[in-house]
Structure 1
Amino acid sequence: MPNQDEILAELGLPGDIAVTGGGGGSTSSGINANDLGNDPTMEGLWAMKAMEHAEIYFNLLCAVDPRLLKLTPKDDLIYKEFRKEFPDFDVVKLDEEALKSPQAKEKWRPFCMSFEKEIEDYSFATLIRLDCSDEYSEANSIIVTRIQFFCIEIARNREGHNDSIRTKFKPRPRTKKTE
């Protein structure tokens, strides 16, 4: 599991910043996560990480048979538990309400929490495509938790719903970060 300095470095922040939360206290040189609220800078950094993840994943779908992709060491468990809990969930074209309505959240929340110790960063915000036959775009993407992404994408891969991506799209060179 990455330590705080590694996470901050990934976000482009100096490692000597202490981020605290929950209890409300912070060190004299630290940042209290509770005080950040909806800080646009932090939101922007997290959005950049989510977009980078989406770009890498889509390039993989364009280059490799999706049925052969292993997204986590726990793919079998994730898929089994997802289909046990959500047997009729449509992974081809996502209905945002099926993920984010109050009723959906009531069902998803305990399911996601059951992976807290199994999947690193299970609750990180992650972009997912609404329609699996198309690429990431503003109109075709929503933010879900990392474990919801894994559930849906593992199902899409195993059930053959991502198979057409390689014939429709080609991998794109990644843009280099400027430091």
Structure 2
Amino acid sequence: MASDDALGSLGLQGLQGASTGAHALSLPADAYGNDPQLEVMWAMKAYNHAEVYFNLISSVDPKFLKLTKMDDDIYKIFRDTFKDLDIKKMNPDDLKSDEMKEVWRPFCNQFQGLIEDFNYGTLLRLDCERDYTEENTIFATRAQFFAVEIARNKEGCNDVVFTSKSPKCES
């Protein structure tokens, strides 16, 4: 199994290794320096989350998905805060410029305690019509991911992924 091989390459074998890895990822960031094994585990977890999410929007009509118990609230607050943000094709500056960081920070912080791991690192597609690739992916917080992807689902932006991956009916 590929994940067992990846865990093995980190020195984490089987269920005990996965448990050790999960425990390590749950500790506060200041408990570590720049540990390369930890960075690989974070990257693997973020990649696995992205893969699961893309498979989900590929197989279920995104407008019917609920990503959190608070989807409607997150969407309303997101669109009140970011009225004109183009979520279909995002620019890295939409998330990472100094100006936008000042808007995103209070937006994300209001979800502390409401969204589990609200500031956890997650992969976000820049162009919602394309898959996760190195050029089409940016590192974002979980709160940013939920806000953008909930909006994409509600506004029909992810429909193209669903329709392109759905089996075609033959007449």
Q: TM-score, normalised by structure 1?
A: 0.77
Mean CA deviation greater in 159-168 or 60-69: 159-168
Match 1:143 to one of 104, 123, 139? 139
Q: Cα 1:162–1:89, aligned 2, differ >3 Å: closer, same or farther?
A: same
Q: Cα 1:20–1:123, aligned 2, differ >3 Å: closer, same or farther?
A: closer
2:99 maps to a residue whose letter is: Q
* Structure 2: distance between partners of 1:121 and 1:169: 30
1:13 maps to a residue whose letter is: G
SS in 2 for 1:143: strand
Match 2:82 to one of 86, 96, 112? 86
Structure 1 residue 36: Cα displacement: 1.9
2:21 counterpart residue number: 13
- The 5 Å alignment of 1:78-157 reads 78-157=74-153
SS in 2 for 1:164: helix
Q: Cα 1:14–1:166, aligned 2, differ >3 Å: closer, same or farther?
A: closer
Structure 1 residue 168: Cα displacement: 2.0
| % same residue | 50
Q: Cα 1:79–1:9, aligned 2, differ >3 Å: closer, same or farther?
A: farther
* Structure 2: distance between partners of 1:166 and 1:134: 11
Q: Cα 1:101–1:20, aligned 2, differ >3 Å: closer, same or farther?
A: same
1:110 maps to a residue whose letter is: P
Give CA-to-partner distance per residue, 1:158-178, whole Å, 9 cap, x none: 00000011232369xxxxxxx
* Structure 1: distance between partners of 2:22 and 2:93: 38
8 Å Cα contact 1:63/1:166 also seen in 2: yes
* Structure 1: distance between partners of 2:38 and 2:128: 29
Structure 2 stretches lacking a partner, 5+ long? 1-15
Over 4 Å off, 4+ runs:
8-12
SS in 1 for 2:21: coil
* Structure 2: distance between partners of 1:146 and 1:20: 17
Q: Cα 1:118–1:136, aligned 2, differ >3 Å: closer, same or farther?
A: same
Q: Cα 1:37–1:86, aligned 2, differ >3 Å: closer, same or farther?
A: same
* Structure 2: distance between partners of 1:14 and 1:47: 13
Structure 1 stretches lacking a partner, 5+ long? 1-7, 22-32, 172-179
SS in 2 for 1:136: coil
Q: TM-score, normalised by structure 2?
A: 0.81
**RMSD between superposed Cα atoms in Å:** 2.2
